[in-house]
Amino acid sequence: MPINYYIFLSIALFCIGIAGVLTRRNAIIIFMCIELMLNAVNLLLVAFSKMHSAAAAALPDAATVGTDGQLFVFFIMVVAAAEVSVGLAIIVMMYRNIHSVDVNFLNRLKH
Amino acid sequence: MNITQILFWLLSVTALFGAMMVVTSRNPVYSVLWLILTFFSISGHYILLNAQFLAIVNIIVYAGAIMVLFLFVIMLMNLNKNAEPTRGRWIKFAGAISGGCLLLVLVAALRSTEVSSKSVQVGVGEIGLIKNLGRELFTNYVVPFEISSILFLSAMIGAVVIGKKD
């Protein structure tokens, strides 16, 4: 499978996420679009890791070439889980204070 | 066209369609469900690339834990009705145009690079198995692994402190 296909699929997913962040007003959906962008990058990292392991099949340490990319994906998932817990706590607090999750109500930084 | 390519195109179409529906759904609960579909198809891509550990972790952590947390918050706020005020039509149009422009620029820039002639191992290779990843994680990457546990602890404390009613 050419690496081109994975690159274009990841770019498409990432751009859909960007368009969602720009067009929606619900803070939770904006947050979900950020998760979508993180997953697009994860998919690209795994594809590149498999590409490097395919290119290094003849080297003596071929068993571990490309493992780094998959471990980066693992750490991205760890950070994303921590980010979601804190971010959703912030959204809940925002909802408790202004009774809405509309990001347009937050553009004045006072309330 | 063999079975791997058919699966690749099927999973890609599913992922892209799910992502589009996440952005365009009016109801946040439907958005969460479409996002779960997208995550499952991305996990299918991981299985296709023989990254079995990441496929399982993606399903457990993303589709299992994070999306349940999203659903829980949406239910808690009683947002499962179509009450979201919409942006103006021009703002939506401008957002879609900006995303499309970024797509165009990235595709045009990466279409004919040197890397684009290489190919990906599909269905074979052992680096995605849990044996290899575990050995690497507990030898070369043991310090970031332990630091991530501290990150989790601080995130948990932070979420409790922020969410506490004072």
Residues B127 and A67: beta-carbon distance below 8 Å = yes
Helix (H) or strand (E) run with residue B148 in it: helix B142-163
Chain B touched by A61 (CB under 8 Å) = no
Distance CA(B125)–CA(B70), nearest Å, equals 35
Q: Could you tell me the two tokens for B136?
A: 């690497």
What's the gap in Å between the CA of B127 and the closest CA on chain A? 6
Chain B residue with minimal CA distance to A42?
B42
* pLDDT > 70 fraction of chain A, expressed in percent and rounded: 92
Q: Which of A23, A35, A102 comes nearest B91 by C-beta?
A: A23
User: For the CA atoms of chain A, what is the radius of gyration?
Assistant: 19
pTM of the model: 0.89
Q: Using CB atoms within 10 A of its CB, is residue A17 exposed (0-12), middle (13-18) or buried (19+)?
A: buried
Least confident of A15-19, A48-52, A55-59, B3-7: A55-59
Q: Is A7 helix (H, G, I), strand (E, B) or coil?
A: helix
Please answer yes or no on whether B158 and A86 come within 8 Å at the CB atom.
yes
Per-residue pLDDT reduced to its tens digit, B51-90: 889 999 999 988 888 999 999 888 888 766 655 566 677 8
Q: What ipTM describes this predicted complex? A: 0.89
Please answer yes or no on whether B120 and A50 come within 8 Å at the CB atom.
yes
Q: pLDDT band at B166, cuts 50/70/90?
A: low
How high is the pLDDT of residue B163? 82
Per-residue pLDDT reduced to its tens digit, B114-165: 777 777 777 777 787 888 888 888 998 999 999 999 999 999 999 999 888 7
Residues A33 and A54: beta-carbon distance below 8 Å = no
Q: Could you tell me the two tokens for B13?
A: 């179409």
Chain B touched by A99 (CB under 8 Å) = no
Chain B touched by A80 (CB under 8 Å) = yes
Place of tokens 């099949």: A57
What's the gap in Å between the CA of B158 and the closest CA on chain A? 6
What's the gap in Å between the CA of B30 and the closest CA on chain A? 11
